[in-house]
Chains A and B, each alone.
Chain A
């Protein structure tokens, strides 16, 4: 059947069906592991390892009660919050002015330098990084973890905000200058409000990446500063693995970023710069 035999409305209908089908397939691909994680967390230890997997099972909260009774889950959660929150804050405090400066000076190299930290595999830096913090006597401290994760959050903030700042018409920033703003005030009063959706995206991404960052946290934390992702690793034993417990922990760990994303969803709208200039 050639295109010619299809009328315009039918073709549009077909396109819409294809688009929806594509989205459904993608959604299943993305949601399946998450659904698997959540359902497994409610399965008894017999059900969770059953083969073939049981689709119908008697849900139980055993995994959650065991998780909360046998581990200091909330102190790990507090560690995670402190480390991810602080590193996100540092990423924003340094990344926002850096991205703004790079944008208004049209200098691209600083952004490239920060990106290089993300391009090389983290394992490359692991040993030297550990040695540096060991020599500083900082292994196992919040400081080491926050600084390490700031190295993750900073490039994210810069790379999300740079194109957002670039999209602001220069004349608006010049008008702010003529109106009496110095560079910091034009950033705070004019540029930042115009990239608010970019700022929200940058904050979420930075927080999520930091929250989920495992390898360096595993090496640099101790019992008192261990974040959730590392604590969950305890469930993978040398001989046996408590899959139900692990899935319950994973489900709880995934909750805060999810809640955060839903909470700020309404901010994720574009188009604030509409009407700024001639139209």
Chain B
């Protein structure tokens, strides 16, 4: 159990800069999720913490100890790999016991810890099997068991759910979250899936091109995105973005329609509206849109429409069932219109 601190951390592969310079602190017992698109440096960052990639510049502390030059073995971390990386020639028991044997833990304690973790993960009947006789979900549990028995300072998860089918993914997601609350260990979880990030994290770190875009609690990242990238990345379907001209408290849209958003700002901006923040307006008010596609999801309905030539999506109540081609008046929920700088992408309001 330990905190984690990165100071001026840089990573280059040859001349390619993966992480330009990164500062981040992770508190003891915190569940932090690194999220971002492919190639954003999140896995590299995790591998740096694990000691599997050397640091080009800067410092990494686990607890109070600077660990730059420590091997993975010396850092007292445990990692769950994306492909699980179980030892194929060992049984489930041996896979879980291996890390403890390497650390010369007494056999009785190894046995107790493995049995305990197996009970926790519900894999007791599998202990004598080899990995090739397990299903994907079972392998995933064994990989977690191998990490749990070690009782490490920090748990690292490298996209551990990406190889599971959708149903199992949801189940394991809740299990990992429950586990984190029970184990009270510092956990760092890497994913490109914003739903995983939102549902599991105490704090989310959004990365892009090796640069932290925003660090915050899930509701903060969702409700107060720092910039257009974060706003577009978090939330599904993504936030709608429209280039607008601001004048007299209203946003003038590309197709010369006007949307009243009550802002004091003036000039050009990018208007961001989440699909769920569009609300059907009474006839004769709001912004009438021509429906191009309707996707009923059961719990709600996605309505596609065009503003100029920009595709937009609104998420409306399931009983709102417009037809394709129908004209539907929409307005924006009060205080839910985001404005971004068209050049820098920073949030203006």
Residue pair A174, B72 in contact (C-beta under 8 Å): yes
In the complex, B82 has a CB within 8 A of chain A:
yes
Instruction: Give residues of chain A (130-170) contacting chain B, Cβ–Cβ below 8 Å.
Output: 169
In the complex, A3 has a CB within 8 A of chain B:
no
In the complex, B71 has a CB within 8 A of chain A:
yes
Instruction: Give residues of chain B (49-98) contacting chain A, Cβ–Cβ below 8 Å.
Output: 50-52, 71-73, 77-79, 81-89, 98
CA distance A177 to B51 in the complex (A): 9
Cβ-closest chain B residue relative to A180: B102
CA distance A277 to B146 in the complex (A): 14
CA distance A275 to B135 in the complex (A): 9
What 1/0 mask marks residues of chain A from 239 to 279 whose CB sits below 8 Å from any chain B CB? 00000000000000000000000000000000011111111
Pick the contact of B85 from A172, A194, A274, A279 — CB < 8 Å? A172
Residue pair A275, B87 in contact (C-beta under 8 Å): no
Pick the contact of B52 from A174, A278, A279 — CB < 8 Å? A174
Pick the contact of B99 from A180, A274, A279 — CB < 8 Å? A180
Interface residues on A, range: 20 to 34
Pick the contact of B81 from A174, A182, A193 — CB < 8 Å? A174
**Contact (A194, B88) CB under 8 Å given A178-B72, A278-B136:** yes
Pick the contact of B79 from A175, A180, A272, A274 — CB < 8 Å? A175
**Contact (A276, B86) CB under 8 Å given A171-B81, A180-B99:** yes
Pick the contact of A276 from B77, B85, B136 — CB < 8 Å? B85
Tell me the minimal C-beta distance from A118 to chain B in angstroms: 31
In the complex, B134 has a CB within 8 A of chain A:
yes
Residue pair A175, B136 in contact (C-beta under 8 Å): no
Contacts of B99 in A (CB 8 A): 178-180
Residue pair B81, A175 in contact (C-beta under 8 Å): yes
Pick the contact of A177 from B72, B82, B84, B150 — CB < 8 Å? B72
Tell me the minimal C-beta distance from B337 to chain A in angstroms: 43
Residue pair A278, B84 in contact (C-beta under 8 Å): yes
Residue pair B163, A278 in contact (C-beta under 8 Å): yes
Cβ-closest chain A residue relative to B79: A178
Residue pair A276, B81 in contact (C-beta under 8 Å): no
In the complex, A181 has a CB within 8 A of chain B:
yes
Contacts of A180 in B (CB 8 A): 73, 99, 102-103
Tell me the minimal C-beta distance from B252 to chain A in angstroms: 51
CA distance A72 to B198 in the complex (A): 82
Interface residues on B, range: 20 to 34
CA distance A182 to B71 in the complex (A): 9
Residue pair B89, A272 in contact (C-beta under 8 Å): yes
Residue pair A169, B72 in contact (C-beta under 8 Å): no
In the complex, A66 has a CB within 8 A of chain B:
no
CA distance A165 to B103 in the complex (A): 25
Pick the contact of B77 from A176, A178, A279 — CB < 8 Å? A178
CA distance A172 to B84 in the complex (A): 8
In the complex, B11 has a CB within 8 A of chain A:
no
Residue pair A190, B87 in contact (C-beta under 8 Å): yes
Residue pair A274, B102 in contact (C-beta under 8 Å): no
Residue pair B85, A174 in contact (C-beta under 8 Å): yes
Tell me the minimal C-beta distance from A23 to chain B in angstroms: 31
Residue pair A178, B87 in contact (C-beta under 8 Å): no
Residue pair B88, A279 in contact (C-beta under 8 Å): no
CA distance A180 to B102 in the complex (A): 6
**Contact (A171, B87) CB under 8 Å given A181-B102, A275-B133:** no
Residue pair B134, A275 in contact (C-beta under 8 Å): yes
Cβ-closest chain A residue relative to B131: A275
CA distance A224 to B139 in the complex (A): 59
Closest 7 CB pairs of A and B: A275-B132, A180-B102, A179-B99, A171-B85, A277-B83, A276-B88, A175-B85
**Chain A residues with a Cβ under 8 A of chain B:** 169, 171-172, 174-182, 185, 189-190, 193-194, 272-279
Q: A171-B83, A193-B89, A273-B88 are in contact. List 19 more A-B contacts (CB 8 A).
A: A169-B83, A171-B81, A174-B72, A174-B79, A175-B79, A177-B71, A177-B73, A178-B99, A180-B99, A180-B102, A181-B102, A272-B89, A275-B88, A276-B86, A276-B87, A276-B131, A278-B83, A278-B139, A278-B163
